[in-house]
Structure 1
């Protein structure tokens, strides 16, 4: 076999290997980064066009309830909701604190049916791209533009509820809005 054929064959193998390396790099770094960027933009857009309404916390016999609605007339989709109780003195920190234990709450749709649960086993990001929660947690799936009733156990008149509205896109979870109940009433 002439040496020029061997040289050409070696060049072809090198080009193929280089192409495979570049393809692998694209698939492992650039594609996930691009998918995250697209998901983050979608979450940010939804966040900026939505309004979270939170009713007062009604407390009765160590449990509480509140009516919550995420309003956005331009979309018709489902989002997830996470609710947890904290002492009312943490009210100024609602944007930066997360649940410290597994929340005990239920969400009921307008027809009185219990909403479907969903387990989140991946990080939750804020719309800026930072991780705000990284522990498996159960949430409920609810429709946008419909009020839901949330009930939470182990609350009292010194508690507030923190509500996180979560959006799933391209394999990533984002907190697109948050709010809290005011001073509880009995």
Structure 2
């Protein structure tokens, strides 16, 4: 059995809420969890759950837990880009993080666009299981869910790229006209 060499980590008392530290490995990866920290945005905490204000880096749309899970499944079936999604089953909600420049108006019944400054709990990237705050979809440095796609997923409308089947047209064949009157 290989002996692991301990890695010096900052103690929680050494960290302020705004302090961030680099991953342990020079290539930025976490071999223990199979994650590549280089693809994560800088606002994702690496050590513990932190509260970050909505409206600074992204908009946050909060949805009831069951509706959020259904919307996520719908988004996955639409084959569209999906941005960060955080679930908290104990609190009963799913939060979709939407890029700032994409959202202008939000009015979907039963959901809530969190006001700028509302604190959102952001878990570390290794937290993907359990009933408390966790990632359903990890963030990446670029891209995210388009509000149009999320709205369609929440309202049950098909995505813009899917065409509904049209009813088959029935054409009547006319009887051939005769050249003259019948006798």
- TM-score, length basis structure 2: 0.24
Tell me which protein shows more strand as a share of its residues.
Answer: 1
Greater C-alpha radius of gyration: 2
Q: Determine which structure has the larger helix proportion and give its number.
A: 1
**Given the two structures, how large is their TM-score scaled by the length of structure 1?**
0.24
Higher relative contact order (CA 8 A, sep 6+): 1
